[in-house]
């Protein structure tokens, strides 16, 4: 924040930078993908380490963040291309570019500070703005649409599953009562409804609406859908020795990453007894972080948002199959509406 409380666009501090660059083994001349460019903090660090001769492909579903990142990266030099797209389309993008296998892929999941702190984006229970929460503002449905149109049971399920909120039923009932009176359109309005719906016992370190807002954000942006498949697909584009690094900010995401990595490393992902386990045990990769890495105290002090970060990394050990760069995109094979900014 500036002295006047305004948001500055460079405010998003990239999380666990040193770990990211080390694990990706960024090297001059290498080919890397940042599938969540955000404001370009990690991308910039990668570019600095892969020049001269390196290339970076960047993706983000938020056009405004990408625009800021584009200016920032362009000021630093060349060697990157940015795409406004969902990272679920990463296979399509890489296939269309017909690139050789890549050396490293980064996914720094969740939202960036610009999105969180810009009142008009409607992510925060502290701002009296329209309840929006879309990362991609070209998407049709907003958080207000969900809150005003889903059934009470659907709302309770979302709040329970994505917010891990034990008061989900009370909150959903309160939302439905309120919207009968008047549609819920503002962040503060929803935060007040949630806060009034249950009694906080003892000391609570977080705002009562925190979990509900997290749940709605995940639902609006379908953050968990297809993540495991994406990780498997992305892995297919790595060269032998290439690495994928993922930073998750809540346990739901982290569980998906852990499971995908275990599967790719040929480890069991089921709950069955060992003698009954039928998990395929073909190891295509090697887990580099048996336990997720977390930020050090110093980083958390300077960047409290890093507090909940969990970083996992996986290395490809086998030779790429036919899928890498060989057209295994969707049968339609259309590049979609990729906003291909700035080739250099
Ligand atoms: C934590 S931020 C990344 C910050 C970035 N590493 C930096 O240093 O500025 C996560 C970014 O991922 C983007 N994002 C989230 N889900 C996405 C998806 N499915 N496809 C593309 N981008 C996504 C968000 O828009 C956000 O900009």
Element (H, E) at 238: strand 238-248
Distance, CA 39 to ligand 1 centroid (Å)? 8
**Measured distance between the N- and C-terminal CA atoms of the chain, rounded to whole angstroms:** 33
Contact criterion met (CB below 8 Å) for 305 and 252: no
Q: What does the pLDDT read at residue 338? A: 35
Distance, CA 280 to ligand 1 centroid (Å)? 32
Say if ligand 1 is within 6 A of residue 65 CB: yes
Q: What gap in Å lies between CA 91 and CA 94, rounded to an integer?
A: 5
Give this prediction's pTM: 0.89
Which tokens sit at 303? 């960047």
Mean pLDDT over the full length of the chain: 89
Which tokens sit at 62? 């938020």
327-332: long-range pairs with CB below 8 Å, 24+:
327/95, 328/91, 328/95, 328/236, 329/91, 329/92, 329/95, 329/96, 330/92
Distance, CA 277 to ligand 1 centroid (Å)? 36
Residues of the chain where predicted confidence (pLDDT) is lower than 50: 1-10, 322-344
CB atoms near residue 297 (< 10 Å): 8
Say if ligand 1 is within 6 A of residue 112 CB: yes
Q: What gap in Å lies between CA 51 and CA 305, rounded to an integer?
A: 29
Distance, CA 37 to ligand 1 centroid (Å)? 6
CA–CA–CA angle 289, 54, 337 (5° rounding): 90
Q: What does the pLDDT read at residue 126? A: 87
Of 236, 247, 251, 225, the C-alpha closest to 88 is 225
Distance, CA 65 to ligand 1 centroid (Å)? 9
Q: What does the pLDDT read at residue 321? A: 52
Nearest CA to ligand 1 atom 7: 41
Q: What is the pLDDT of residues 105-145, one digit of tens each?
A: 999 999 999 998 888 899 998 888 999 999 999 999 999 99
Instruction: Tell me the best of 16, 34, 35, 61 to mutate to test the pocket of ligand 1, counting ligand atoms within 8 Å of each CB and taking the most.
Output: 61
**Structural domains of the chain in order of their starting residue, each with its CATH number:** 9-110+225-341 (3.40.50.150), 115-221 (1.10.150.170)
Q: What gap in Å lies between CA 99 and CA 326, rounded to an integer?
A: 9
| Helices and strands, number each (H, E), in the chain | 13, 8
Say if ligand 1 is within 6 A of residue 86 CB: yes
């Amino acid at each position: 924040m500036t002295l006047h409380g305004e948001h500055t666009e460079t405010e998003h501090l990239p999380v666990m930078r040193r770990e990211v660059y080390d694990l990706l083994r960024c090297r001059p001349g290498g080919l890397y993908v940042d599938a969540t460019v955000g404001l370009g903090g990690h991308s910039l660090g990668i570019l600095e380490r892969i020049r001269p001769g390196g290339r970076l492909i960047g993706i983000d579903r938020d056009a405004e963040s990408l625009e800021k990142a584009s200016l920032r990266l362009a000021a630093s030099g060349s060697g990157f291309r940015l795409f406004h797209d969902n990272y679920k389309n990463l296979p399509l993008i890489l296939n269309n570019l017909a690139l050789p296998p890549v050396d490293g892929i980064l996914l720094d999941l969740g939202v960036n500070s610009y999105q969180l702190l810009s009142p008009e984006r409607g992510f925060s229970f502290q701002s009296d703005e329209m309840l929006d929460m879309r990362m991609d503002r070209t998407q049709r449905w907003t958080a207000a649409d969900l809150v005003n149109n889903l059934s009470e049971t659907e709302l309770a399920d979302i709040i329970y599953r994505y917010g891990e909120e034990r008061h989900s039923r009370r909150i959903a009932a309160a939302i439905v009562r309120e919207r009968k009176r008047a549609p819920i359109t503002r962040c503060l309005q929803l935060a007040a409804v949630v806060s009034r719906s249950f009694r906080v016992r003892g000391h609570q370190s977080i705002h009562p609406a925190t979990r509900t807002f997290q749940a709605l954000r995940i639902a609006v942006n379908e953050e968990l859908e297809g993540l495991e498949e994406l990780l498997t697909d992305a892995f297919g584009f790595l060269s032998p020795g290439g690495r994928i690094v993922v930073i998750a900010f809540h346990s739901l995401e982290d569980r998906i990453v852990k499971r995908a990595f275990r599967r790719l490393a040929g480890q069991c992902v089921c709950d069955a007894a060992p003698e009954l386990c039928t998990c395929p045990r073909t190891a295509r990769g090697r887990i580099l972080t048996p336990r997720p890495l977390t930020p050090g105290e110093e980083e958390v002090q300077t960047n409290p948002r890093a507090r909940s970060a969990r970083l996992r990394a996986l290395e490809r050990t086998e030779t790429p199959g036919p899928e890498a760069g060989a057209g295994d995109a969707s049968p339609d094979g259309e590049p979609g509406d990729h906003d291909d900014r700035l080739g250099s």
